[in-house]
């Protein structure tokens, strides 16, 4: 069985679940196309570039192997997949493990010698051993005009708190040092279940983000929250961060600051209220690190709208920022909006935004020089007497890193204490004292 996984961390979790079920039923995972009897491609379909990458991956698998099952977000648009590659064996949508397994059973005979010792709660991980993504819900109730995720993944469906906590506990027992909490809308966790009470280890736990975060914080691992909309109840998380129960880090998808553009995007909130919210959060938790993403060149965005976004960034002083130029997504309502911005203007505005943010990020990181910080090690280079890791400020693969000198004796997954010597726009240079973090 071959497997190709594309897309975001939420899709990666889907891949982990499918692979776990495949191994539990005795199927072996092949390292190459030629060694596989069939190939599963877990696709992404959020933006045009992702669709193209997914279709290319399907085409490559067909050319190299010939027997391909397609799943994932692009699989929700089966007609588009079959139009490009009519010879695929089956097409299923995202988070449809049972449908994928049904397609596998149809394509292959039952596996022999099932791997009965593999239990789903432990499962297969596609991340390094020391961190894991913890998906707490599927789908989204928002209807942003640039997004088609609800049409692919449906409305919000939260996992009961007890189920999430049991998975997290098993991950920590298996050696995971950092839990990255993900969903389409983490703040809305539990609203579809009316925040009903579940049970974990015999104790009642409300299926709500504050209560879930509080219990996750008792497991002894770093807990990092992603995709957190700035609803009023998010303020309840700040004391947990200030107390060190969970990491003082929030990934908040703001997207823009112009009232006209936010309205066109069908996004909640106003720039002024967001600034007030951020200020209140920082009053409670001064160490709070905020990451966000923005879109430049959205249909109808004028130079004045873009200047409002720059003014917002200058005042908000966010720690980490990602930026995307607007991309037409098939089926998105935004495609029909007037005032399409030329591609070169979208790119030019992105460059200006990122230049401003680079200056802000450099100033924020410069405040860390001279401080002793905890670093979770991701990589060790004994030849250079160097380790590469992350502080609480850094989510894997999307934020910066900490280069730790004198740490050749460290191991991946170690939590070290190091003193920061230098800072750049994105990264820190530190030196290990020789002692693990307290």
Q: Which two tokens stand for residue 9?
A: 């961390």
Residue 132 phi, psi (nearest 5): -150, 150
Q: Encoding tokens for residue 102?
A: 């049904």
Q: Rounded to 5 degrees, what are φ and ψ at 18?
A: -65, -45
- β partners of residue 107: none
Closest CA to 133 of 341, 357, 398, 339: 398
Q: Is residue 323 part of an annotated ligand binding site?
A: no
What values do phi and psi take at 258, rounded to 5?
-75, 130
Q: Say if residue 73 carries a ligand binding annotation.
A: yes
> Within 10 Å of residue 324's Cβ, how many Cβ atoms?
16
**How is residue 72 written in tokens?**
């994932």
- Alpha-carbon span 12 to 135, nearest angstrom: 10
DSSP state letter for 18? H
Q: How far apart are CA 373 and CA 180, in angstroms?
A: 20
Helices (H), 25-121: 48-64, 78-84, 97-107
Structure tokens at 88: 């695929």
For strands 68-72 and 90-91, give the pairing.
parallel
Q: What are phi and psi of 417, to 5 degrees?
A: -110, 125
285 is in an annotated binding site: no
Round to whole Å and give the CA distance between 12 and 187. Answer: 21
Annotated binding residues for [4Fe-4S] cluster, written as ranges, equal 8, 44, 73, 140, 144, 147
């Amino acid at each position: 069985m071959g497997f190709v996984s594309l897309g975001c961390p939420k899709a990666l979790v889907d891949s982990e679940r499918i692979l776990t079920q495949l191994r539990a039923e005795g199927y072996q995972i092949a390292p190459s196309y030629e060694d596989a009897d069939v190939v599963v491609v877990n696709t992404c379909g959020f933006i045009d570039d992702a669709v193209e990458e997914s279709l290319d991956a399907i085409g490559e698998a067909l050319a190299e192997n010939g027997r391909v099952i397609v799943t994932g977000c692009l699989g929700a648009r089966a007609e588009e997949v079959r139009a490009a590659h009519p010879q695929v064996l089956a097409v299923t949508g995202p988070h449809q493990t049972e449908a994928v397994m049904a397609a596998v059973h149809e394509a292959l005979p039952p596996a022999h010698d099932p791997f009965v010792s593999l239990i789903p709660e432990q499962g297969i991980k596609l991340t390094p051993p020391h961190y894991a993504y913890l998906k707490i819900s599927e789908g989204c109730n928002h209807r942003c005009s640039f997004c088609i995720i609800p049409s692919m993944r449906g409305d919000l469906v939260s996992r009961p708190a007890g189920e999430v906590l049991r998975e997290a506990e098993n991950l920590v027992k298996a050696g995971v040092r950092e839990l990255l909490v993900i969903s389409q809308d983490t703040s809305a966790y539990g609203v579809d279940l009316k925040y009903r009470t579940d049970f974990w280890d015999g104790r009642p736990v409300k299926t709500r983000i504050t209560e879930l975060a509080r219990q996750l914080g008792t497991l002894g691992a770093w807990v990092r929250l992603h995709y957190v909309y700035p609803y009023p109840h998010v303020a309840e998380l700040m004391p947990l961060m200030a107390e060190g129960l969970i990491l003082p880090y929030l990934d908040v998808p703001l997207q823009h600051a112009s009232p006209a553009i936010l309205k066109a995007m069908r996004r909640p909130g106003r720039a002024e209220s967001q600034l007030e919210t951020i200020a209140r959060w920082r009053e409670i938790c001064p160490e709070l690190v905020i990451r966000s993403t923005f879109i430049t060149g959205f249909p109808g965005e004028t130079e004045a709208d873009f200047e409002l976004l720059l003014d917002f960034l200058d005042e908000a002083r966010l720690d980490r920022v990602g930026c995307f130029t607007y991309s037409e997504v098939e089926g998105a309502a935004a495609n029909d909006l007037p005032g399409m911005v030329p591609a070169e203007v979208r790119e030019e505005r992105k460059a200006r935004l990122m230049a401003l943010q680079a200056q802000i990020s450099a100033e924020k990181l410069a405040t860390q020089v001279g401080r002793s910080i905890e670093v979770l090690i991701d990589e060790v280079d004994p030849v250079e007497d160097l380790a590469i890791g992350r502080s609480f400020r850094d989510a894997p693969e999307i934020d910066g890193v900490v280069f730790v000198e004198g740490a050749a004796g460290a191991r991946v997954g170690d939590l070290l204490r190091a003193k920061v010597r230098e800072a750049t726009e994105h990264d820190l240079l530190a030196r290990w004292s020789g002692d693990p973090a307290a």
